[in-house]
Structure 1
Amino acid sequence: MRRSLRVQRRMQRLHPELHRLPLNFDPNRHDLNRAESGWNVDDYRQPLPPEPPGPPVPGGSWEVACDLVRDYQYADPGIIREICRSGPPEPGRNMLLEGRFYGLRFYLGLRVGGVVDGYIEQNGRRARVWGWNYRTLQGHLERGQMDQEVRKWLDTGEVEFHVHGFSQRAPIPNPIVRLGFILFGRATQVRFYRRACKRMRVLTAAELATRKQALEQKPG
Structure 2
Amino acid sequence: MPNRSTPPAPAWQQYRAQLAAYARTPVNYDDAQDPAAQTPAAGWRRDDYATDLPAEVPGPPAPAGAFAAAQGVLRRYAFPPPNLITGYFDPAQPLAERVMVLRAHFLVFYFTFGVRIVDVVDEAALPTPGGPERVWGYGYRTLEGHFERGQINFSLHKNLTTGAVQFRIGAVSQKGTIRNPFYWLGFKVFGRILQRRFARQSLARMRRLVGEALAAPQTKPAAPG
Shorter chain as normaliser: what TM range? 0.7 to 0.9
Identity rate, percent: 36
Structure 1 position 184, deviation (Å): 0.2
From 136, 141, 148, the counterpart of 1:135: 141
Decide whether the 8 Å contact of 1:90 with 1:114 is kept in 2.
no
Q: Is the 8 A contact 1:120 1:127 kept in 2?
A: yes
Q: Distance in 2 between matches of 1:144 and 1:201?
A: 26
**Which residue is equivalent to 2:35?**
31
- Measured in 2, the distance between the counterparts of 1:46 and 1:203 equals 13
Distance between the aligned counterparts of 2:49 and 2:83, measured in 1?
Answer: 20
Aligned to 2:4: none
Once the two structures are TM-superposed, the CA of residue 67 in structure 1 deviates from its matched residue by: 0.8
Equivalent-residue separation in structure 1 for 2:13 and 2:116 (angstroms): 20
Question: Are the aligned partners of 1:143 and 1:169 in contact in 2 as well (CA < 8 Å)?
Answer: yes
Match in the other structure for 1:191: 197
Question: Size of the alignment, in residue pairs?
Answer: 211
Alignment CA distance shift 1:88-1:31 (3 Å): farther
* DSSP 3-state at the match of 1:184: helix
Q: Which residue of 1 aligns with 2:181?
A: 175
Tell me which amino acid in the other structure corresponds to 2:35.
D
Structure 1 length normalisation: TM-score?
Answer: 0.88
Quote the offset at 1:88 in angstroms: 5.6
Deviations 1:7-57 (A, max 9, x none): 86652221111122111110111439x755311111011100000011111
* One-letter code aligned to 1:76: P
> d(CA) in 2 for partners of 1:66 and 1:104?
31
Which of 61, 66, 73 is matched with 1:61 structurally? 66
Note if contact 2:12-2:90 (Cα within 8 Å) is conserved in structure 1: no
Q: Which moved more, 1:92-101 or 1:7-16?
A: 7-16
| Paired position in structure 1 for 2:5 | none
State the Cα deviation string for residues 90-117 of structure 1 (Å, max 9, x = none). 3342111111100111111001112100
Correspondence for 1:166: 172
Aligned partner of 1:14 in structure 2 is 18
1:45-84 to structure 2, matched below 5 A, reads 45-84=50-89
2-structure distance, mates of 1:93, 1:79: 21
CA change 1:124–1:151 in 2 (3 A) is: closer
Residue 171 of structure 1 aligns to which amino acid in structure 2?
Answer: T
The structure with the larger Rg is 2
Q: Distance in 1 between matches of 2:175 and 2:59?
A: 41
Unaligned runs of 5+ in 1: none
Structure 2 equivalent of residue 106 of structure 1: 111
The 8 Å contact of residues 77 and 87 in structure 2, kept in 1 or not, is answered as: no
Question: Is 1:115 aligned to residue 120 of structure 2?
Answer: yes
Q: Provide the secondary structure at the position in 2 that maps to 1:146.
A: strand
Corresponding letter in the other structure for 1:56: P
Q: Secondary structure at the match of 2:20?
A: helix
Letter in 2 for 1:144: G
Separation of aligned partners in 1, 2:92 and 2:13: 17
Q: Secondary structure at the match of 2:204?
A: helix
Contact preservation (8 Å) 2:122, 2:135: yes
Structure 2 stretches lacking a partner, 5+ long: 1-7
